[in-house]
Amino acid sequence: MEQDTIIYGKNAVVEALEAGSRTFNKILISSASHADSKIEKIKELAKAGGIVFQFVNIQKLNQLVPEGRHQGVIAQVSPIKYVDLEDFIEQNQAKHASVVILDGVEDSHNVGAIIRSCVCAGVDGIILPSRRGVLINSTVEKTSAGAINHISIIKVNSLVNTVQRLKENNWWVIASDHHAKDNYYDIDYTDMNFALIMGAEHAGISKSLLKLSDFVIKIPMLTNFNSLNVSNAAAIILFERCRQILKAEKRGG
């Protein structure tokens, strides 16, 4: 077994147990925890799955996760399984699939929040570069509220090669860049496979990826303060797509 990963926080642990895609080594619960419904659920799911859980002193938990952010629960689990790009493309060829590419996003909270929005918005995958930005860690998992168990996470060596492979397979490539001319809401997202590229917090999207993009879009603001958080920007674009899909379904029905 590879080295254990830690998951902390009640929701993150419940989500991972329910998703069933991870191997649990052990769950540690603070002996000072009040017996709330989430803790009860964790105990039930652990029992049902034959997973060991232990009540431990809260200091033991604080050693593993600082500042009491663990909410009284820490699980030791197998690392997340990344999905192979070619497998992902093959599995999503026949439908109107979508994937978000994070080009060097550095803040774990942002990555976690983006994955959470992606799952809510029905996005099929997240592509992360292996050498820039954040990969999946405990903070990403916590911030995602367990969403990482409900989406394909693809780790790639080269985003340029990845975008080229997607284009060869008839995916459209959309880059979010605040210098763009086109507005995000003027694209029709309802009838295509697409990859949405979101750039790093300060540097934005690499030029080589901008060049490969079929659409470059911006989120127009009502003020000159043009500085959206990257996870909020991703949510705005992805939920515009949801809005379009739900409106189209309503018209169709």
* Comparison of 150 and 165: residue with beta carbon closer to a second copy: 150
Smallest separation, CB 88 to a second copy (Å): 18
* Comparison of 16 and 163: residue with beta carbon closer to a second copy: 16
Smallest separation, CB 118 to a second copy (Å): 10
String of DSSP letters for the chain: -PPPEEEESHHHHHHHHHH--S-EEEEEEETT----HHHHHHHHHHHHTT--EEEE-HHHHHHHSGGGTTTTEEEEEPPPPPPPHHHHHHHTSSS--EEEEEES---HHHHHHHHHHHHHTT--EEEEESSSS--S-HHHHHHTTTGGGGSEEEEES-HHHHHHHHHHTT-EEEEE-TT-SEEGGGS--TTS-EEEEEEBTTTBS-HHHHHH-SEEEE---SSS-----HHHHHHHHHHHHHHHHHHHHHHH-
* Comparison of 99 and 233: residue with beta carbon closer to a second copy: 233
Smallest separation, CB 137 to a second copy (Å): 15
* Comparison of 32 and 246: residue with beta carbon closer to a second copy: 246
* Comparison of 170 and 229: residue with beta carbon closer to a second copy: 229
Smallest separation, CB 177 to a second copy (Å): 15
* Comparison of 11 and 25: residue with beta carbon closer to a second copy: 11
Point out which residues bind a second copy (CB under 8 A): 11, 109, 113, 116-117, 119-122, 143, 145, 147, 150, 183, 185, 219-223, 225-229, 231-233, 235-236, 239-240, 242-243, 245-247
As a whole number of angstroms, the distance between CA 187 and CA 113 comes to: 24
Smallest separation, CB 109 to a second copy (Å): 6
Cβ neighbours of residue 228 under 8 Å, at least 6 residues apart? Answer: 219, 221, 236
Smallest separation, CB 225 to a second copy (Å): 5
